Every structure is written in structure tokens, then in C-alpha cells.
């Protein structure tokens, strides 16, 4: 447990620098903007989908409440 806490403990600036350096080595400088663009597009699509789902649920709720009022 203690060693796991040490491993997953606080992430300092040097750990972030090492992670960024590893990512640069793996993907290269030219590939990273493409990866970030894809990530941004995915997040935008996810937000749009959740907004659409919330709107559908709200319209179902409104339709159900209107049906109950007319009865």
C-alpha cells in the first residue's frame, strides 16, 4: 500500500517534463497537433451528444406532463 502511494503520489514538475518528453519521443513533434485535434473533436462530439440526449429527455418529460394534464 505504501509503495503504491509513493508511485501514484504527487506529480511534480519533473515528472510532467519526463512524461512530455516520452510523448514527444513516441509520437514526434508533427503528430502531436493531429492527436490534440482529434481529441478536441472527440470531446466536442461527446458534449453535443450529451446535450442532444438531455434535450430528448426533457422533451419526453414535457410530453408526458402535457398528456397527464389533458387527461
Domain span at residue 71 reads: 29-71
pLDDT of residue 1: 47
Report the alpha-carbon distance of residue 55 to residue 62 in Å, rounded.
Answer: 10
Query: Per the structure block, which three cell numbers stand in for 13?
Result: 514538475
Confidence check: pLDDT of 6 > 80: no
Query: 65: pLDDT confidence band, cut at 50, 70 and 90?
Result: low
Query: 5: pLDDT confidence band, cut at 50, 70 and 90?
Result: low
Distance between terminal CA atoms of the chain? 61
Q: Does the residue 2 lie in any domain?
A: no
Q: Does the residue 45 lie in any domain?
A: yes
What is the number of structural domains in the chain? 1
pTM for the predicted model, two decimal places: 0.50
Q: Does the residue 6 lie in any domain?
A: no
Q: Does the residue 3 lie in any domain?
A: no
pLDDT of residue 4: 52
**pLDDT for 14-55, tens place per residue?**
888 888 888 888 888 888 888 889 989 999 999 998 888 888
Q: Does the residue 60 lie in any domain?
A: yes
Q: Does the residue 18 lie in any domain?
A: no
Q: Does the residue 44 lie in any domain?
A: yes
Amino acid at each position: 500500500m505504501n509503495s503504491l502511494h509513493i508511485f501514484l503520489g504527487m506529480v511534480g514538475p519533473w515528472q510532467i517534463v519526463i512524461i512530455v518528453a516520452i510523448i514527444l519521443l513516441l509520437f514526434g513533434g508533427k503528430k502531436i497537433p493531429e492527436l490534440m485535434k482529434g481529441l478536441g473533436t472527440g470531446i466536442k462530439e461527446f458534449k453535443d451528444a450529451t446535450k442532444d440526449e438531455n434535450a430528448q429527455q426533457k422533451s419526453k418529460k414535457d410530453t408526458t406532463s402535457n398528456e397527464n394534464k389533458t387527461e
